[in-house]
Amino acid sequence: MERITVAVVGALGKMGQETVRAIQGADDMELVGAVDLFSQGEVVADGKVKVEQDLAKMLAEKKPQVVVDFTRPQDVFANVKIILEHKIRPVVGTTGLDPEQIAQLDALARKQGIGGLIAPNFAIGAVLMMEFAKQAGRHFPAVEIIELHHDKKIDAPSGTAIKTAEMIVEGRAEPRSSTAEELEKIKGVRGGELSGIHIHSVRMPGFVASQEVIFGLPGQTLTIRHDSIDRSSFMPGVLLGIRKVLTAEGIVYGLEHFL
């Protein structure tokens, strides 16, 4: 069986290390390259793959079919551009890309005649949570999102929270917003707002990634919650993305399109 050749960018980070292990354990994949800006010459995959610092150099030498990016919000746009310019398909789990950047990457991917995946969340349960929230949003006008992550996460709100709010708005027949007057005694206490949906971000040790979407109607509330208690929860989705991206056209935004 011909295996899919894969490289990982951010290979020494927690998500990168988990991804390396998952690819090693997949019978239909082979890890051929690894990149990390903080590499001091480490090796991964049982000593078979050296972790390099230069992404473009690695891509030119190893020529993987797919590159998985778990890096930093400030680096991901440049990384994905380099990957696409080498006509290689990216699978991106790094959050922080805005709609304009995603549109630029989509245009570049189509120009190169390839596809890619940008997924705010790779956990299958989180993807289902977003889909369920979209359905509930059609019937509940009032909704707020609380996302909880580890204290090392840089960007807020999370990509999952933004994607959830976008999906709820997309599923509604017409825009909805509260008309109640509010007085914030502490600035920002009501969180951020996207299309009338308040989003609250929590950052503290002990969490990996959790989100709850709270809906309200007179006399009742509905809470949809997902918890990733270990980074291994993301790996089935990462492997699915690697397999499915081989036939994608342009940039696909959200793992739900591959389920």
Q: Active-site positions?
A: 149, 153
Whole-angstrom distance, CA of residue 83 vs CA of residue 64? 10
CB atoms within 10 A of CB 87: 12
**Both tokens assigned to 25:** 């354990």
3-state secondary structure of 17: helix
For 100-116, b/e burial (b = at least 16 CB within 10 A) is eebebbbebbeebebbb
3-state secondary structure of 158: coil
Whole-angstrom distance, CA of residue 79 vs CA of residue 75? 6
Whole-angstrom distance, CA of residue 199 vs CA of residue 157? 7
- What stretches of 170-233 adopt beta strand conformation (E)? 192-194, 197-203, 209-217, 220-228
**Both tokens assigned to 235:** 């790996």
**Both tokens assigned to 212:** 């709850």
Q: CB of 246 within 8 A of CB of 89?
A: yes
In the block, tokens 């369920």 appear at 132
